[in-house]
Amino acid sequence: MVLQAASAPAAEFSKTTLSRTNTDLIFVEGELAFRDEQKFANLALNSSNAIVIFRSPGGNMLAGIEIGKAIRLKGFSTYVPDSLQCASACALAWLGGRKRLMSETARVGFHAAYTDERGSPIASSVGNALLGAYLNQLGLPNSAIVYISHSPPEGMQWLTFADAQRYGIDVQPLNLISRRPIERTSPAASGEGVHAIIRSRTVAFVELSNLQNEIALSALQSHYAANVNYYGKKRRRDAVIADKRTFFERWPRRRYEVQTGSLEINCVGPSECTSRGLLNWTAVRPGTVSTGAAEFEFGWTFIGDIWRISFETSKVIDRKVTATGASDAPLITGISEADRPTLPSPSAVQDAIRKTLSFCKKSTFKEPFMSRMDVNGDGIKDYVLDYGQLECDGSASAFCGTGGCLTQVFISSPNGSYVKALDENVRDLKFEVINQRPAMILELHGSACGRAGAAQCRVTLFWNGSRFSPAN
């Protein structure tokens, strides 16, 4: 959990909605980098009820703390699913949950804050003071604070449920792959009770496909019997999951929903039931959106105190495939054609705008949202996007915070394409020529320079022929 890193790959943030409970699922995957907290805040802005799901090895401590604070402020729950890891800075963000959830096979790990001194981790007294203050704000007892921060930078304290209870860290178990009976209802229970169980499990099973690929596949696996009549062929469970994986990788963003009133449940005997109905779907892959409806049927068998799927088939009854021309088209919300500015021709710039605004239902642009200027001195005008000049669902500060407003810079490359050179929240941005080298001067949040947030922090990056970087 590094206090300050010169550079790091940013985490990926995404969101989907479980319509049955009107709950947003916000996914945080990858190493946390400084200013990722603003990206998280942008995504979570319009969510009132959410579960934040983590899969991260750690990263920047300040980003983890600020994400944790935002989660606590919004009242969100946090979760680390089966067999996934959330360590270091990620674990600090996870602690922010009003309700903390983790699977019995998940790994949540803590260690002391440190700075990176010439490649060696050195414990940071300032960082650990910030860590202690944050944990105190969360209302954790002193025993928990010591437990969380005592492991050295090169070590890791992996949380167990026994330790959580011993040291006063409130955690609840939640397993997607059950190691206990999911329903303890006898197969001889009343018909009405069994119908209710099958109805609930059918809707939940359909909506599991809305989750991120690995999480969805892990959860789906626990619902199948060892052998399945799968679209007319007998398949082992692992072959079914392999087929699902292929489809999910082809369509990485999905939304499935059972049509209201379409679900029919029929049971033959005490341990065999079928569920039939209609579902609507939206599936997105780079450049393409597929929407439609399908008939589906699942066969459920009561096996080992759990209802599992032993039969599955479906038939498409309506489909529409649309070419979007974008690499990451919005799944549910986005920019209406009437509200978009005239987008430039470079696809990288178009895609960045669409992806950044994918959670906005309505976007209003002001001038100068987009500026053209030669940034790297090659004689070709580049693109500068200032998201402070944009309203998202009526909010004029959706992309702004104490560290300034989100700004993106795209630089021309020799092959005629444009590459992203900046994607950060900045208080001010200037371009100059210093010692005959194109330079980008950033005014950042004070903590980027190890100072108080309001303090001045100026960073100058120089063009080296391929990217902007600190001077050698």
Q: What does the pLDDT look like over 75-116, one tens digit per residue?
A: 999 999 877 889 999 999 999 999 999 988 889 999 887 665
First to last CA, the chain: 26
Residue 203's pLDDT is: 86
pLDDT score at 185: 44
Q: What is the 3-state secondary structure (H, E, C) of the chain?
A: CECCCCCCCCCEEEEEEECCCCEEEEEEECCECCCHHHHHHHHHCCCCCEEEEEEECCEEHHHHHHHHHHHHHHCCEEEECCCCEEECHHHHHHHCCCCEEECCCCEEEECCCEEEECCEEEECHHHHHHHHHHHHHCCCCHHHHHHHHCCCCCCCEECCHHHHHHHCCCCEECCCCCCCCCCCCCCCCCHHHHHHHHHHHHHHHHHHCCCCHHHHHHHHHCCEEEEEEECCEEEEHHHHHHHHHHHHHHCCEEEEEECCCCCEEEECCCCEEEEEEEEEEEEEECCEEEEEEEEEEEEEEEECCEEEEEEEEEEEEEEEEEECCCCCCCCCCCCCHHHCCCCCCCHHHHHHHHHHCCCCCCEEECCCCEEEECCCCCCCCEEEEEHHHEEECCECCCCEECCEEEEEEEEECCCCCEEEEEEEEECEEEEEEECCEEEEEEECCHHHHCCCCCCCCEEEEEECCCCEECCC
**Tokens, residue 447:** 């903590």
Where do we find the tokens 């969101």? 15
- In a shared domain, residues 35 and 96: yes
Of the candidates 368, 11, 367, the one whose C-alpha atom is nearest the C-alpha of residue 212 is 11
Q: How confident is the model at residue 64 (pLDDT cuts 50, 70, 90)?
A: very high
The CATH number for 197's domain is: 3.10.450.50
Strands 157-158 and 107-110: antiparallel
Which residues partner with 265 through β-bridges?
275
Q: What is the mean pLDDT of the chain?
A: 80
Q: Which residue has better confidence, 388 or 446?
A: 388
Looking at the fold, whether 43 and 67 belong to one and the same domain comes out as yes
Domain-embedded: residue 331: no
Mean pLDDT over 247-263 rounds to 88
Strand order in the sheet with 468-469: 428-434, 437-443, 458-463, 468-469
Q: Which of 26, 27, 28, 35 is nearest to 8 (CA)?
A: 35
Greater model confidence, 377 or 323: 377
CA atoms within 13 A on the CB side of 202: 29
The answer to the question of residue 71 being in a domain is yes
Average pLDDT of span 189-194: 62
Q: What is the dihedral of CA 32, 38, 41, 46, to 10 degrees?
A: -130
15-24, 55-64, 186-195, range with the lowest pLDDT: 186-195
Domain boundary among 323, 351, 375: 323
Structure tokens at 67: 């994400």
Please indicate, yes or no, whether residues 294 and 342 belong to a single structural domain of this protein.
Answer: no
Q: Can you give the pLDDT at residue 54?
A: 93
Choose one of 118, 138, 173: the last residue of a domain.
173
Distance between CA atoms of 181 and 82, rounded to whole angstroms? 16
Q: Do 275 and 385 belong together in one domain? A: no
How much is the average pLDDT of 461-471?
A: 81
For residue 408, the enclosing domain spans 337-469
Say if 185 falls within a structural domain: no
- Max Cα separation, the chain? 84
CA distances from 2 to 26, 33, 385, 442 (A): 24, 10, 30, 22
pTM exceeds 0.75, yes or no: no
CATH of the domain at 132: 3.90.226.10
**Quick one: pLDDT band at residue 403, thresholds 50, 70, 90?**
low
* Same domain, yes or no: 311 and 342: no
In this structure, are 317 and 342 located in the same domain? no
Q: Which of 87-91, 286-290, 336-340 has the lowest mean pLDDT?
A: 336-340
Phi, psi of 41 (to 5 degrees): -60, -40
Task: Name the region of 416 (left: φ>0; alpha: ψ -120 to 50; beta: rest).
Answer: left
Mark whether 19 and 168 lie in a shared domain: yes
Structural tokens at position 334? 């986005």
Among candidate residues 454, 354, 438, 361, the one with its CA nearest the CA of residue 404: 454
Q: Which pLDDT score, from 0 to 100, does residue 181 have? A: 36
**The total number of structural domains that make up the chain:** 3
The residue-averaged pLDDT of 106-130 equals 69
Confidence of residue 338 (pLDDT cuts 50, 70, 90): very low
Q: Which of 323, 348, 376 is the last residue of a domain?
A: 323
Question: Above 70 in pLDDT, residue 453?
Answer: no
The two three-digit tokens of residue 231, written as one number: 């679209």
On whether both 207 and 299 belong to a single domain, the answer is yes
Q: Is residue 151 part of a domain?
A: yes
Q: How far apart are CA 306 and CA 183, in angstroms?
A: 6
The percentage of the chain sitting over the pLDDT mark of 70, rounded to a whole number, equals 81
Question: Is 330 inside any structural domain?
Answer: no
Are both 116 and 23 inside the same structural domain?
yes
Whether residue 314 lies inside any domain: the answer is yes
419: left (phi over 0), alpha (psi -120 to 50) or beta: beta
Q: Which of 241-245, 321-325, 329-333, 444-448 has the lowest mean pLDDT?
A: 329-333
Residue 1 in domain: no
Q: Give me the pLDDT at residue 169, please.
A: 94
- Could you tell me if residue 329 is inside a domain? no
Q: Are residues 164 and 295 in the same domain?
A: no
Clarify whether residues 314 and 205 are in a common domain: yes
What is the rounded average pLDDT of the residues 155-175? Answer: 90
Distance (Å, whole) CA 384 – CA 389: 12
Pair 66, 90 in one domain: yes
